[in-house]
Amino acid sequence: MTRLSQFAAALAVATVAALPLAARASDPTDIIDYRKHVMKTLGAQSASMAMTLQGKAPAENFVLHAEALAIVASTALQAFKEKVEGGGSKPDVWAKWPDFEKRMTELATNTAALAKAAREGGVAAAGPKVQGALTCKGCHDIYREKK
Ligand code: HEC
């Protein structure tokens, strides 16, 4: 193969590989499932992190759970962007989108700061910030259907 045809072949492979990444979810069930998965992961990571602080789980995992929480929180806003009412979400999520967006962005910012403090200063630095970073209930009280 010439260099040019090698390049063209590589480009074709790259293009095909990139396609699924560019595809948008459009099935409403997928959209709701995805945001539920993201939220459940937030729940699991918060609970795991709390257990490391309470001496019920390995303390050395505190930093990793704080980091996982921050990463998942950074995916959460995107998971709600498409307006698909239902699941456990109240219609206000989309009717009051600027407020919802602000709250979800704050969660991502605060958990990122928590993870940074945990990495740099461990439990001593990050422990006191945990409660303030977990603004979960404040949002659920407004935007999540009561069970
Ligand atoms: C900005 C608003 C907002 C924030 C902040 C938020 N949530 Fe949620 N959460 C929601 C909404 C809305 C739903 C309902 C999603 C759906 O089913 O459509 C939800 C659903 C959930 C669920 C139920 C998922 C399921 O299986 O049905 C869990 C668990 C959860 N959140 C945990 C958390 C935790 C833990 C945090 C904090 C670390 C958090 N959430 C922060 C809005 C938020």
> What integer is the mean pLDDT of 106-133?
96
Phi, psi of 86 (to 5 degrees): 120, -160
55: left (phi over 0), alpha (psi -120 to 50) or beta: left
Share of the chain above pLDDT 70, in %: 84
What's the pLDDT at 109? 98
**What is the spatial distance between Cα 117 and Cα 99, in angstroms, rounded to a whole number?**
27
Q: Whose CA is nearest to atom 27 of ligand 1?
A: 36
What's the pLDDT at 147? 77
Domains (range + CATH), the chain: 27-143 (1.20.120.10)
Query: What pLDDT, in 10s, does the model give residues 50-107?
Result: 999 999 999 999 999 999 999 999 999 999 999 999 999 999 999 999 999 999 999 9
Ligand 1 pocket test, pick from 140, 141, 145 with the greatest ligand atom count within 8 Å of Cβ, gives 140
pLDDT level of residue 111 (50, 70, 90 thresholds): very high
Q: How far is the CA of 121 from the centre of ligand 1 (A)?
A: 28
Least confident of 16-20, 90-94, 123-127: 16-20
| 43 CB near ligand 1 (under 6 Å) | yes
Q: Which residue has the higher pLDDT, 14 or 134?
A: 134
Q: How far is the CA of 5 from the centre of ligand 1 (A)?
A: 50
Decide if 57 contacts 44 (C-beta within 8 A). Answer: no
| 32 CB near ligand 1 (under 6 Å) | yes
> What integer is the mean pLDDT of 30-36?
97
Q: Pick the atom of ligand 1 nearest to 69's CA.
A: 38
Q: Is the pLDDT of residue 14 over 70?
A: no
Q: Is the pLDDT of residue 29 over 60?
A: yes
| 139 CB near ligand 1 (under 6 Å) | yes
| 65 CB near ligand 1 (under 6 Å) | no
Q: Which residue has the higher pLDDT, 1 or 71?
A: 71
Q: How far is the CA of 140 from the centre of ligand 1 (A)?
A: 6
